[in-house]
Amino acid sequence: MISRTDIEFQAQDGVTLRGWLFVPPDDGTKRPAITMAHGFGAVKEHCLERFARAFAEAGFVVLVHDHRSFGSSDGLPRQDVDPWKQIDDWRHAISFLANRPEVDNDRIGLWGTSYSGGHAFILGATDRRLKCIVSQVPTISGFEQGRRRVHSDAQSAFIDLLSEDLYAQHRGEKPRTQSIVSAEPAELAAYRAQEAIDFYLQPISESSWKNSVTLRSTFAARMYEPGIWAARVSPTPLLMVVAAQDTLTLTDLELDAFEKALHPKRLVLIPGGHFAPYAAAFETACGAAVTWFTEHLGATQ
């Protein structure tokens, strides 16, 4: 039986991150391991346990953590996304996992999805403790995503809004917030697509998730360009899982990043939109990741 234990560890600036550790039955050997985290504004309860249990059933020790300022992790201001802090925090997660007595620290892989799928490129390219990575429906270009998702007629007013938030913070005001998802035109929100609304607002238990994110998180996201690291991941093996109709992180950008990546690499193209890997295409997306991790980390069952 797979055990799930609540864990916590210290990250940069002394912030405590919390999450789950999944461990297969003890067979007396050190096991390969996988470290996981979610995307923009999401928490571990947003469908990650299903992936983690599948990986653990394949023989891996699996760590899933909430990003700082979200879910069960500490961090102020709450609901604030800084991609570079998340990446630095993830290095602490790798260290925490590597020091576990159940883990063979020479066989650690990383799985990231959506925004953290972009993190996977950077960590794979810069942290050679990782022996392979999986990047699922990843963010490639924050600039291009912002350009396409905000209508040209609204770009100027939106940029003015982001700029005013910067002025307000300089005056000592708290960062302004917006909804993560909303269908209301008058409500400021990061995402308006129905598939995003359905995903983020699904009933989840055990979580302090809120439908809120700082406006400056969007400002940071529009400057975040993890796709430029795709060609630098090699020689670490890279699996990309791409949705054929992804209108959030954009299928064409993802395919272009895969073409620029060097071997060893593998592409798995799944039907559906950005959130398909968590639902209709779960078996394909998860199965491909299990195969990749088994191939490169050598899991035992």
Bridge pairing between strands 130-136 and 238-243: parallel
Contact assessment for residue 112 and residue 138, using Cβ atoms and an 8 Å cutoff: yes
pLDDT in tens, the chain (301 residues): 999 999 999 998 999 999 999 999 998 999 999 999 999 999 999 999 999 999 999 999 999 999 999 999 999 999 999 999 999 999 999 999 999 999 999 999 999 999 999 999 999 999 999 999 999 999 999 999 999 887 777 788 889 999 999 999 999 999 999 999 999 999 999 999 999 999 999 999 877 899 999 999 999 999 999 999 999 999 999 999 999 999 999 999 999 999 999 999 999 999 999 999 999 999 999 999 999 999 999 966 5
Confidence at residue 149, expressed as pLDDT on a 0 to 100 scale? 80
In DSSP terms, which residues pair with 110 in a beta bridge?
Answer: 35, 133
Question: Which residue type occupies 301?
Answer: Q
* Domain ranges across the chain: 3-143+225-297
Q: What count of residues does the chain have?
A: 301
Contact assessment for residue 226 and residue 118, using Cβ atoms and an 8 Å cutoff: yes
Confidence at residue 299, expressed as pLDDT on a 0 to 100 scale? 63
| Helix runs in the chain, H state only | 48-57, 83-98, 115-126, 142-149, 152-170, 194-200, 215-221, 251-260, 282-297
The superfamily CATH assigns to domain 3-143+225-297 is Alpha/Beta hydrolase fold, catalytic domain (3.40.50.1820)
Contact assessment for residue 215 and residue 161, using Cβ atoms and an 8 Å cutoff: yes
Question: Which residue type occupies 38?
Answer: H
Contact assessment for residue 46 and residue 275, using Cβ atoms and an 8 Å cutoff: no
Q: Backbone phi, then psi, for 173, in 5-degree steps?
A: -80, 155
Both structure tokens of 134: 């999986």
